[in-house]
Amino acid sequence: MKHSAEIISVGTELLLGNITNTDARDISIMLSELGINVFYHTVVGDNPERLKDVVAIAKKRADIIITTGGLGPTCDDLTKQTLAEAFGLKLIYDEQEAETMRQYFKTRLHANRPITQNNYQQVYLPEGCTVFHNTCGTAPGCAFEAQGVHVLMLPGPPRECMTMFRLSAMPYLQKLSGDEIISHNLHIFGMGESSVEDRLRSRMLELQNPTLAPYAKDGEVRLRVTAKAASADEAEALCRPVIEEVRGILGSLIYGVDTDSLENTAYGLLKKAGKTLAAAESCTGGLLAKRITDIPGASSVFLGSAVTYASGAKTALVGVSPATLAAHGAVSAEVAREMASGARRTFGSDLGIGITGLVGPDGDGSDTPVGTVFIALDAEGTIYCRGVHLGTDRQRGRTMAVHHAFDMIRRYLTGLEIE
């Protein structure tokens, strides 16, 4: 039986726009990987009457209800009471969770904070429920089945919510389907979503298990391969030939499977090869450096970046020749190449990246079209350069330019064509 889910997020802050509903998005991604359809997201405030109405509607149209938020210790937190009532269940004091909470207060940063009566509200849970421990906070979650509906309640703070989802809700939901579900994400750079779809359309329509679904994310394209079987091994075995088939079609456009990002891929390859990286950035203004240093441990491969926004700084920091700047202009392949080499020399790295371009929204008065960007890689003495047109959206242009730089690095380190 194919399940259908509704996610109900509880919190007035969501309705005021003070926070973004990332929980509903992230749970949806996981449910989609589990093969569970999500037909509705609902957001409702900390108001028991309206929450009651919303639950009454959800009971009629979904057989899995997942709530987020409203499990905390304040008088606003009414999710458990309201849901238990809606399904005719009593709330029962859970001594084991009370003890867990006492331990949490003792060992974390709360040594001096007393446990109030309100905190104990959190450990009243629906009779007969499966308790979901909260490994990042104090409010436990839970799940129960009643009136033909599975109800799962998770805390609102994203870290607590998603950790509990992975550790407790995921296994609970997997048991429901009886099947094991395995999903793999193929990360693609260098081809748009519609072209990927064109190449794979007939297979996407034919395939039932595993399924094949492309989606665009942050200027990249991803392909999700999801298989269902009686065991994880069997599901894995169903995925494998399809992944190989897609690899055959898209080749080196696939930069990774189940990896995080282009920068993580580049970082991993640099680390494995024992090579270091430095950069000189103009139009991306430090974004390349920012992205690779988002990774804890980046210092093992990344030496630094000269953000040479002013033309003079290109000469002062990474030795771009004033003659080259005068002859070709700051936005040119020649300057990008000198920046890449200069970065390598200045920082003493194995690989150097140079990025210069005009990312808009406005032109600079010259003939150079907005969106023109040159990305150069000096790889241990050989210089490669890409010239691209990235459109007039400033943030997108900057993001794509840095994608290209990391893509050139991974292509160099895996022996692929670069330019």
Name residues contacting a second copy, limited to 57-96 (CB under 8 A). Answer: 57, 61
Q: Given CA atoms 326, 327, 329, 333 in this order, what sign does their dihedral have? A: negative
Of residues 418, 278, 286, the one with CA closest to residue 339: 278
Instruction: Provide CB contacts within 8 A for 406, sequence distance 6+.
Output: 262, 263, 265, 266, 288, 291
Q: Which one among 74, 135, 299, 414 touches a second copy, defined by CB under 8 A? A: 299
Gap between the Cα atoms of 40 and 62, Å rounded: 9
Q: Which of residues 384-403 bind a second copy (CB under 8 A)?
A: 394-395
Amino acid at 90: K
Q: How far is the CB of 78 from a second copy (least distance, A)?
A: 15
317-356 positions binding a second copy, by CB under 8 A: 317, 346-348
Q: Given candidates 1, 2, 16, 381, which one binds a second copy under the rule CB under 8 A?
A: 16
Nearer to a second copy, 10 or 254 (CB): 10
Rounded Cα distance, 58 and 8, in Å: 9
Does position 414 bind a second copy by CB under 8 A? no
Q: Do 73 and 115 meet the contact criterion of CB atoms below 8 Å apart?
A: no
Considering only the stretches 194-202, 260-268, 291-299, 409-417, report the one whose residues sit in contact with a second copy under the rule CB under 8 A. Answer: 291-299
Q: How far is the CB of 184 from a second copy (least distance, A)?
A: 16
Which one among 34, 151, 182, 288 touches a second copy, defined by CB under 8 A? 288
The encoded tokens of residue 73 equal: 């210790």
Of positions 170, 298, 333, 388, contacts a second copy by CB under 8 A: 298
Q: Smaller CB distance to a second copy: residue 46 or 179?
A: 46
Q: Which stretch binds a second copy (CB under 8 A): 85-93, 248-256, 267-275, 276-284?
A: 276-284
Task: Please give the residues from 38 up to 57 whose contact with a second copy meets the rule CB under 8 A.
Answer: 38-45, 47, 50, 53-54, 57
Tell the smallest beta-carbon distance from residue 13 to a second copy (Å): 7
Among 128, 171, 131, residue whose Cα is nearest residue 154: 131
149-154/64-68 β-pairing: parallel
Amino acid at 38: V
Binding mask 356-385 for a second copy (x = CB under 8 A): ----xxx-----------------------
Cα–Cα dist 79/70, whole Å: 5
Identity of residue 66: I
Which of helix, strand or coil describes residue 362?
Answer: coil
Establish if 264 lies at the interface with a second copy (CB under 8 A): no
Q: Please pick, from the candidates 290, 315, 328, 363, the single residue that binds a second copy as defined by CB under 8 A.
A: 290
Of 247, 287, 291, nearest to 267 (Cα)? 291
Are the C-beta atoms of residues 203 and 255 closer than 8 Å to each other? no
d(CA 78, CA 51): 9
- Restricting to residues 202-261, which ones interact with a second copy according to CB under 8 A? 215-217
- Least distance to a second copy, CB of residue 131, Å: 26
Task: Write down how long the chain is.
Answer: 419
Q: Which is nearer to a second copy, 147 or 299 (CB)?
A: 299
Q: Is 316 in the site for a second copy (CB under 8 A)?
A: yes
